[in-house]
Each structure stands twice: as C-alpha cells, then as structure tokens.
C-alpha cells in the first residue's frame, strides 16, 4: 500500500477501529456480569453497572450441585491426558513419516491427511454406538481416547517440522548404532519444543472448549465440564443472564491466560498448518 504520513495515520485509525469492534463485546460481557437482573433488562440500558454486584461471581461459581472449580477439574481430566498423549504419539508418528522408510508410508500418510477433511458429524453416531456398546457412556473415555493416540493435524505439524531439520542430525547417531527411538527421544524431541508448545496449546484449547462431545457422552452432573456447566445456567429454572455472564468470564480466564503466555506458539502453529496445508 502507499507509504506516506497521511496513509500511516489512516492505517492507525483503522486498526484502532477494528480493535474497538473486537473488544466491545467483551467489555459488554464484563459490564453485564456485574449487573443485577433488573438492570440487565433495563431500557435504556446502562453502560456501567450502577451497583457492582460481585456476588454474581460467587453465585456463578457455587451454584448448582457442583462448583465451578469441580467442573474446571473435570475439564482438566479430559484436557490433560488428551494433550500429553497426543503430543507423544503424534511426534513419534511425525518422526516416522518424516525420516523412516517403510512400505505404504506415503499412502498411510495420505490417509491421515484425508481424515482432516471429514466433518466430525459423519463419525459421530458410529463412534457413539461403539463407546456405548463398550460401556463407556457417561465416562470420559470417549472424550479422551479418540485424540489420545495422535491426530492427523498434530502428526502433520510435527512431520513438517522434522522435515526442516537437516539429515546430518541423525546420520552420525545411526552409524553409532543408535536406535531410532533414542534418536527421536534424545535428538529430535528436544529440538521440537516450540512445536510441542504449539500442539499443547491447540489440543488443550480444543479439549477445554469442546461442547458437543460432553453433551453426547456425559450424563451425571458430577461429571460436567466447564462448557456444559455454563450452558446449564440456561435451563428453565435458572435462566439467569447475570450468572451466565459472570460464569462466562470465569470460563474465559483460563484460556486467555494460556493464550497470552503461549501466543507466539499459536501463531507459529497456524502459519505452519494453514499455509502449507
């Protein structure tokens, strides 16, 4: 675009306007979270609460048969094992696809890539039937198992990364009679910290933000995740928008912190996954 003082000014103006559009809904959420029910439904609406109702947060955190902390821990029970195992298995598979030669390697890799195009809804019912038959209904198994042994996206990402590493890295080690497992574990894995961080953030977010999965597989209230808990503020007995907004903020805090801490890894992940894929 044209470079010049005036143009720069317009650009700054535009980025600020866009920033306002992005931020305003969040601001409205925070303002609403502190209002009383009566003020929420007032017309004309007040922008800032006349009385800041901090109780909304304590009530949102403790309402219902299980507390927010309990729901958060439930979400962690799903997110943490999914993330950890997914990274280990994906990275091993990524190494194999990037560095090892074996029959049908590229065909199998294409199977993984193609699976990324399949919408979740297509496998939803048979998967559900499978887990139901195995007696895993109302457990976390169906939410953990399918992603645990590596997913196409993670395998693709680690493979792309391993392919950028020079061959010399492992050649000496092979000559020394080093096993591939050791090469992967001792040489490759330490080099892939940034990509592991990227995957960790993505997997974690995916598991934490998932809604359809828990809706289908979880029945008992004691097993509710954060997202389900938030939605259950909306049943006929508790359609409390003040609490929904306060609860939303509580649900948002963990992912926002994670994002701010790991943002450079997120950017890298999208760039690698998006542009080349």
Partner 1 sequence: MKKNLKKAMAFMMAVAMTAGLALAADVKADDWEGAEKAATLSGDIQYMHSGDDYEREMYAGVFESYMKYAPEVHVEQMYVPSDYATKLQTLASANSLPDLFWMGESGIKQYYDAGMLYDMTPYLEEYPDLTEDIVDGVLEYGNFDGKQVAFPKDWTSYVMYLNTDMFAEAGVDVPTNDWTVDDYKEIAAKLTKKTEDGSRVDVYGTAINNYRADWINWMGNYGAEWFKDGKSNFSDEKSLQGLGVMYDLIQAGSAPSPGTVSSTGDSEDRLFIIGKVAMYPSGRWVIPSFRQECDFAWDAVEMPMGTTRVCPFICSMVGIASTTKLPDVAANVLSYQMSDEGLVQVMGSALSLPAYNDLMANEEYVNTPPSADAFINSAAYLGSQSQLEASQTGKWSEYGSIISANLSDAFEGNVTLEEACKAIDEQANGTLFAD
Partner 2 sequence: MNNTSTVKHGLTLRQKEAATGVAFIALPLLSLLVFMYYPIIRSFFISLYEWNLLQKPTFNGVNNYKTLFADKVFLTSLWNTCRWVITYVPMSVVTSFLLALLLDQKLKGAGFFRTLYYLPVVAPIVVVALLWVWIYNTDYGILNFILEKLFHIKPIGWLTDARFSLFAIAVMSVWKWAGYNMLIFLAALQGIDDSIYEAAELDGVTPWTKLFYIKIPLVMPSIYFVMLTAVIDAFQMFTEIFIMTKGGPGYSTYTVSYYLWSCAFEYSKMGYACAMAAVMFVIILVVTLIQNKVMDRRVQYDM
* Binding positions for partner 2, 39-68, rule CB under 8 A: 40-45
Q: Which stretch binds partner 1 (CB under 8 A): 24-32, 61-69, 153-161, 178-186?
A: 61-69
**Residues in contact with partner 1, shown as a per-residue x/- string from 118 to 157 under the rule CB under 8 A:** --------------xx-x-xx-------------------
CB 198 within 8 A of CB 86: no
Residue of the chain from 11, 16, 62, 186 that contacts partner 1 (CB under 8 A): 62
**How distant is the alpha carbon of residue 224 from its chain centre?**
18
What is the spatial distance between Cα 128 and Cα 118, in angstroms, rounded to a whole number? 16
3-state secondary structure of 140: coil
What is the spatial distance between Cα 36 and Cα 20, in angstroms, rounded to a whole number? 26
51 binds, among partner 1, partner 2, none (CB under 5 to 8 A by kind): none
Q: Which stretch binds partner 2 (CB under 8 A): 51-59, 64-72, 189-197, 223-231?
A: 223-231
**With contacts defined by CB under 8 A, how many residues of the chain interact with partner 1?**
32
> Cβ neighbours of residue 87 under 8 Å, at least 6 residues apart?
154, 196, 199, 200, 203
CB of 75 to partner 2, least distance (A): 10
232 binds, among partner 2, partner 1, none (CB under 5 to 8 A by kind): partner 1
Residue of the chain from 14, 215, 253, 261 that contacts partner 1 (CB under 8 A): 215
What is the spatial distance between Cα 142 and Cα 9, in angstroms, rounded to a whole number? 53
167 binds, among partner 2, partner 1, none (CB under 5 to 8 A by kind): none
Q: What is the DSSP letter of 161?
A: H
Residue of the chain from 85, 89, 185, 241 that contacts partner 1 (CB under 8 A): 241
What is the spatial distance between Cα 36 and Cα 49, in angstroms, rounded to a whole number? 8
What is the spatial distance between Cα 69 and Cα 270, in angstroms, rounded to a whole number? 31
What is the spatial distance between Cα 100 and Cα 153, in angstroms, rounded to a whole number? 19
> Cβ neighbours of residue 261 under 8 Å, at least 6 residues apart?
none
Can residue 68 be called a binding residue for partner 1 (CB under 8 A)? no
**With contacts defined by CB under 8 A, how many residues of the chain interact with partner 2?**
102
> Cβ neighbours of residue 251 under 8 Å, at least 6 residues apart?
226, 227, 230
Site for partner 2 in 77-96 (CB under 8 A): 89-90, 92-93, 95-96
Q: How far is CA 133 from CA 128, 143, 176, 268, in A?
A: 9, 15, 49, 40
Instruction: Considering the complex, state which of residue 137 and residue 185 has its C-beta at the smaller distance from partner 1.
Output: 137
Site for partner 2 in 2-41 (CB under 8 A): 2, 8, 11-12, 14-15, 18-19, 21-23, 25-26, 28-29, 32, 40-41
Site for partner 1 in 216-235 (CB under 8 A): 219-221, 224, 228, 231-232, 234-235
Residue labelled with tokens 């939303």: 248
**Which spans of this chain sit near partner 1 (rule: CB under 8 A)?**
37-38, 41, 43-44, 55, 59, 62-65, 132-133, 135, 137-138, 215, 219-221, 224, 228, 231-232, 234-241
């Amino acid at each position: 675009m044209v470079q010049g003082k005036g143009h720069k000014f317009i650009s700054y103006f535009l980025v600020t306007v866009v920033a306002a559009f992005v931020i305003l809904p969040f601001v409205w959420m925070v303002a609403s979270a502190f209002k009383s029910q009566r003020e929420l439904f007032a017309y004309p609406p007040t922008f800032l609460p006349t009385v800041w109702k901090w109780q909304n947060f304590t009530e949102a955190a403790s309402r219902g048969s299980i507390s927010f902390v309990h729901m958060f821990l439930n979400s962690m029970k799903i997110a943490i094992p999914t993330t950890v195992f997914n990274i280990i298995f994906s990275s091993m598979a990524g190494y194999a696809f990037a560095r090892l030669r074996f029959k049908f390697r590229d065909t199998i890799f294409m199977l993984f890539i193609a699976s990324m195009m399949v919408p979740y809804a297509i496998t939803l019912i048979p998967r559900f039937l499978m887990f139901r038959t195995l007696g895993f209904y109302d457990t976390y198994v169906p939410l953990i198992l399918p992603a645990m042994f590596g997913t196409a996206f993670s395998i693709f990402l680690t493979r792309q990364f391993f392919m950028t590493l020079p061959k010399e890295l492992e050649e000496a080690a092979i000559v020394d009679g080093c096993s591939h497992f050791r090469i992967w574990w001792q040489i490759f894995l330490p080099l892939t910290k940034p990509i592991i961080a990227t995957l960790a953030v993505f997997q974690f977010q995916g598991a934490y933000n998932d809604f359809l999965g828990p809706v289908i597989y979880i029945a008992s209230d004691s097993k509710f995740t954060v997202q389900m808990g938030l939605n259950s503020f909306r049943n006929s007995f508790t359609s409390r928008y003040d609490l929904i907004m306060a609860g939303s903020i509580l649900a948002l805090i963990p992912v926002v912190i994670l994002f701010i801490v790991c943002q450079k890894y997120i950017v890298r992940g999208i760039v690698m996954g998006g542009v080349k894929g």
